[in-house]
Amino acid sequence: MKINDVVKAEEGEIFDIELDENILKANAELAQQNRELLRKQGVKAIDVMGSIGAGKTSLIEKMVQKLKTHYRIAVFKGDLTTTIDAEIIGKHGVNVVAINTGKECHLDANLVQKALRRLDLEATDLLFIENVGNLICPAEFPLGSEKRIVVISVTEGPYMVVKHPFIFMDADVAVINKIDLAEAMGVDIAKLQNDVKKINPKTKTVTTNCRTGKGVDQVIAALNL
Ligand code: MG
Ligand code: ZN
């Protein structure tokens, strides 16, 4: 079947509060405050973004296991209403603050600022911030972190990167997870890596199987940790 036409949303036409310029500006200011606070306290903060089920929590768990003897780690875990992931990560003996956004489909700098107040920053070297599962609006809401990771999995199909260019533009590291399933899914990993490079040549791509831990050392190296 052939596509007859494409309806395109014009600037200002979308009925979505997230596109309100004032909100984005306020968020950017709060993100800057967070960034300055974290820098002053010597905390390295890393965002982890990706769709629901891509493997964000598994990646954080594996990095926490490998890094917790070198850094004093804390994790902010964004979710709508649950603390399931926060509890999973907390089992590794690091400080976890759950951030429940209610109906909001992304974290924002205000929520992160509130969470920062609940953390002993003097006793923290490294902070992972797991966003709500979403590849769209987190791109517009910087949180004040130093680096951003985007996790995608091969089970999401071959077009995850090209369909979500904005989230990859700002990503320092793109993690392609569940590579053990690539063949079964018929997904070409080299093509996904190339899609990332086309959007941002500076983004490092790493392939992982976060269930077994394969590739996690390379993610850590890509983050210079
Ligand atoms: Mg998760
Ligand atoms: Zn959102």
Q: Quote the ligand 2 centre to 113 CA distance (angstroms).
A: 17
- What is the structure's pLDDT at 85? 87
Ligand at shortest distance from the CA of 134: 2
Q: Distance from the CA of 48 to the center of ligand 2, in angstroms?
A: 15
pLDDT of res. 20 = 75
- Ligand 1: centre distance to CA 70 (Å): 24
22: amino acid identity, one letter: N
Question: What are the structural domains, with CATH classification, of the chain?
Answer: 21-222 (3.40.50.300)
User: Do the Cβ atoms of 112 and 134 come closer than 8 Å?
Assistant: no
What are the residues whose beta carbon lies below 5 Å from ligand 2 (ion)? Answer: 105-106, 137
> Going residue by residue through the chain (225 aa), what tens digit of pLDDT does each one get?
577 677 776 666 555 555 678 889 999 999 999 999 999 999 999 999 999 999 999 999 999 999 999 999 999 999 888 888 888 999 999 999 999 998 889 999 999 999 999 999 999 999 999 999 999 999 999 999 999 999 999 999 999 999 999 999 999 999 999 999 999 999 999 999 999 999 999 999 999 999 999 999 999 999 999
- Say how many Å lie between the CA of residue 7 and the centre of ligand 1: 33
CA of 18 to the centre of ligand 1 (A): 23
Taking CA atoms, 109 is separated from 51, 69, 99, 206, in Å, by 20, 29, 12, 27
Kindly give the distance from the C-alpha atom of residue 105 to the centroid of ligand 2, in angstroms, as a whole number: 4
CB 145 within 8 A of CB 129: yes
Measure the CA–CA gap between 158 and 116, rounded to whole angstroms: 37
By three-state DSSP, how is residue 176 classified? Answer: strand
